[in-house]
Amino acid sequence: MAHPKVVLVTGACRFLGGYLTARLAQNSSIEHVIAVDAIAPSKDLLRRMGRAEFVRADIRNPFIAKVIRNNDVDTVVHAAAASYVPRSGGKATLKELNVMGAIQLFAACQKAPSVRHVVVKSTSEVYGSSALDPVLFTEDSSSRRPPREGFARDSIDIEGYARGLARRRPDITVTILRLANMIGPAMDTALSRYLAGPVVPTIIGHDARLQLLHEQDALGALEHATMAGKAGTFNIGASGIIMMSQAIRRAGRIPMPVPRFALRAVDSLWRATRYTEWDREQLDYLSYGRVMDTTRMRDELGYSPKWTTAEAFDDYVRGRGLTPIIDPRWVRSMESRAVAAAQRYGR
């Protein structure tokens, strides 16, 4: 597929959509970049978008079809799916925004003869988390217990509608990116908030395996996919893993092991302040974690993240300026001594 000439990005006022718009606007091979969101961007974000044109539109409204048609858009990047409940509504509102927005957008793409490529920002959450998980999820894996609610369920539905578009318009290349849990100094996620408190509640008897993705690598993957025009579904994640217990130590936090039912009680206290509600899928993630096979990302999509999981996490800790409750250098020193002792006495 030829390089895109006219690109439309949804969710342009969110972190990924906004920064992706800015990156694409700096690419001289792209003639026109259109940023779409239902809310107006801040002055700072609008300035960062450079030559991109901002259009205020709700993708659930048929007006989006007019924007695509009138501008001869050839590439659509759908980055608007939200993982957290908007302040003005509950989970039903979130589902309405995510799923109905995707249906309307893909219908507009189907009707527009100019559209040749659609990139969908999805999530590793479609795999769920459980004690029965494989060591690595491949793109062909299916969850042993499919997610039934929240962002994970919405993402499964959105992927299904995207594949439906590919069947109805085989001339459109559809790229689905399943992004690992993102972390970094600037991006606000449920995981980054969870690990930022001085005391981190953990589930007794569990130590989740975490595969992360640096926020800049998430942007890099979206930009690469937009330009490459490769059809298919791709797991996007950093190399290596860290255990939840390691992550808490590296951040200098204090773990507080609690039974799973008690974590919901702690969660209700968080919601009374400023934290996001944890649903069942997220609680499963805190128990088991999730790790994906990223062979297809490297070999077929041709993309390799710059940060490892551990490097991405450490950059988050540095960038947020988290004041250690326990000095991570002391923790790492003790870990090194323990490993050295184990090696010495294990001979």
Handedness of CA 311, 199, 125, 150 (dihedral sign): negative
For residues 87-101, give the mean pLDDT: 73
Residue 275: what pLDDT? 47
Residue 94: what pLDDT? 72
- The CA distance from 73 to 149, in Å, is 33
Handedness of CA 202, 252, 272, 96 (dihedral sign): negative
Residue 97: what pLDDT? 83
Residue 197: what pLDDT? 80
Residue 259: what pLDDT? 83
For residues 163-174, give the mean pLDDT: 97
242-275, pLDDT tens digit by residue? 999 999 999 888 888 888 777 666 655 555 444 4
Residue 27: what pLDDT? 95
Helix axes 280-288, 150-168, angle to 10 degrees: 100
Residue 189: what pLDDT? 85
Q: Which helix (H) or strand (E) holds 243?
A: strand 242-243
What is the DSSP code (8-state) at residue 202?
A: E
More confident site: 329 or 230: 230
Query: Is the model's pLDDT at 345 over the cut of 80?
Result: no
* CA distances (Å), origin 27, targets 10, 50, 174, 224, 305: 18, 11, 22, 12, 20
166-179 per-residue burial string, b: 16 or more CB within 10 A, e: under 16 = beebeebbbbbbbb
In terms of C-beta density within 10 A (0-12 exposed, 13-18 middle, 19 or more buried), how is residue 270 classed?
A: middle
Query: Is the model's pLDDT at 167 over the cut of 60?
Result: yes
Residue 256: what pLDDT? 86
- The CA distance from 125 to 177, in Å, is 12
What is the DSSP code (8-state) at residue 107?
A: H
Fold of 6-182+213-238+289-320: Rossmann fold (3.40.50)
53-77, pLDDT tens digit by residue? 999 999 999 999 999 999 999 999 9
Residue 330: what pLDDT? 54
The ranges assigned to domains in the chain are 6-182+213-238+289-320
Residue 319: what pLDDT? 85
For residues 80-101, give the mean pLDDT: 72
Q: What is the mean pLDDT of the chain?
A: 87
21-38, pLDDT tens digit by residue? 999 999 999 999 999 999
